[in-house]
Amino acid sequence: MRIVRSWTGLAEADRGASVALGNFDGVHRGHQSVIALAAQAARDTRVPLGVISFHPHPRRIFQPDAPAFRLMNLDQQARALADLGVEIFYILPFDAEMEHLSDQDFARNVLHEGLGVRHVSVGFDISFGKGRTGSPQTMSAYGAAMGFGVSIAQPAGPVGSKYSSTAVRTALREGRPEDAADILGRPFAIRGPVERGRQLGRTIGFPTANVALADYVSPRFGVYATRTRLPDGREIPGVANIGVNPTIEGEIAPRLEAWLFDFDEDIYDQVIETDLVAFLRDEAKFDGLEAMTVQIKADAAEARRLLGMSA
Alpha-carbon distance of 207 to 114, in angstroms, equals 51
Each residue's pLDDT tens digit, 176-207: 999 999 999 999 999 999 998 766 666 667 89
Identify whether the C-beta of residue 299 lies closer than 8 Å to the C-beta of residue 225: no
Question: Is residue 65 very low, low, confident or very high in pLDDT (cuts 50, 70, 90)?
Answer: confident
pLDDT tens track for 6-46: 999 999 999 999 999 999 999 999 999 999 999 999 999 99
Residue 64: pLDDT band with limits 50, 70, 90: confident
Q: Quote the pLDDT of residue 234.
A: 97
Contact call for residues 127 and 133 (beta carbons, < 8 A): yes
Q: What is the pLDDT of residues 227-236, one digit of tens each?
A: 999 999 999 9
The H or E element that residue 193 is part of is strand 189-193
At residue 256 the predicted structure's pLDDT band, cuts being 50, 70 and 90, is: very high
Give the model confidence (pLDDT) of 263-292 as tens digits.
999 999 999 999 999 999 999 988 888 888
Domains of the chain: 2-153 (3.40.50.620), 176-306 (2.40.30.30)
Residue-wise pLDDT tens digits, 148-178: 999 999 988 886 678 999 999 999 999 999 9
The predicted pLDDT at position 123 comes to 96
Q: How many CB atoms lie within 10 A of CB 13?
A: 11
CA–CA distance, 76 with 90 (Å, rounded to integer): 15
Length of the chain: 311
- Give the model's confidence band at 93: pLDDT under 50 very low, under 70 low, under 90 confident, else very high: very high
pLDDT for 290 equals: 87
Distances (CA, A) of 29 to 163, 237, 238, 274: 7, 25, 27, 20
250 pLDDT band, cuts 50/70/90, is low
Tell me which residue of 136, 143, 142 sits closest to 122, measured CA to CA: 136
Mean pLDDT along residues 302-306: 97
- Asked whether the beta carbons of 286 and 302 are under 8 A apart, the reply is no
Instruction: Examine the pLDDT at 89 and tell me if it is beyond 80.
Output: yes
Strand order across the beta sheet in which 88-93 lies = 2-4, 88-93, 49-55, 18-21, 119-123, 149-153
Q: DSSP secondary-structure letter at 198?
A: -
Please report the pLDDT score of residue 157 as a whole number: 82
